[in-house]
Amino acid sequence: MMKLQLLRNATLKLEIQDRIVLIDPFFAPKGSRPSFTGRAPNPLAELPASPEEILEGVELVIVSHLHADHFDPVAQSLVPKHLPLICRPGDEDKILSHGFSDVMPLAKIIDWNGIRLQRREGSHGLGPVVKKMGSVMGFSITARNEPAVYWAGDTVLYPAVETIIADTKPEIIIIHACGARWDGDLITMDAAEAVATCRLAPDAVVIATHMDSLDHATVSRDELRRHSTEHGISPQQLLIPLDGETLQLKSRQA
On average, the pLDDT of the chain sits at: 97
Give the pLDDT score at 99.
Answer: 98
Residue 250, domain member (yes or no): no
**Other CB atoms within 10 A of residue 252 CB:** 9
Q: Which residues of 184-201 are buried (b: 16+ CB within 10 A; e: fewer)?
A: ebbbbbbbbbbbebbebb
Which helix (DSSP H) or strand (DSSP E) does residue 185 occupy?
Answer: strand 185-186
φ and ψ at residue 20, rounded to 5 degrees: -115, 125
Interval 4-63: pLDDT, tens: 999 999 999 999 999 999 999 999 999 999 999 999 999 999 999 999 999 999 999 999
Tell me how many domains the chain contains.
1
Residue 84: partners with Cβ closer than 8 Å, 6 or more residues away: 59, 60, 61, 102, 104, 112
Interval 78-136: pLDDT, tens: 999 999 999 999 999 999 999 999 999 999 999 999 999 999 999 999 999 999 999 99
Nearest-angstrom CA–CA distance, 181 and 125: 9
Residue 158, domain member (yes or no): yes
The CATH code of the domain that includes 186 is: 3.60.15.10
In this prediction, residue 181 has a pLDDT band, given cuts at 50, 70 and 90, of very high
Give the pLDDT score at 179.
Answer: 98
Residue 234: partners with Cβ closer than 8 Å, 6 or more residues away: none
**In the predicted model, is pLDDT for residue 254 greater than 60?**
no
Residue 251, domain member (yes or no): no
Beta-strand relationship, 149-153 and 172-176: parallel
Residue 253, domain member (yes or no): no
Nearest-angstrom CA–CA distance, 1 and 16: 8
Residue 247, domain member (yes or no): no
Residue 9, domain member (yes or no): yes
Which range marks the domain in which residue 94 is found? Answer: 2-242
Residue 249, domain member (yes or no): no
Nearest-angstrom CA–CA distance, 13 and 32: 23
**Other CB atoms within 10 A of residue 205 CB:** 20
Nearest-angstrom CA–CA distance, 72 and 26: 5
Residue 92, domain member (yes or no): yes
Q: Which residues of 27-43 are buried (b: 16+ CB within 10 A; e: fewer)?
A: bbeeeebeebeeeeebb
Beta-strand relationship, 115-120 and 60-63: unpaired
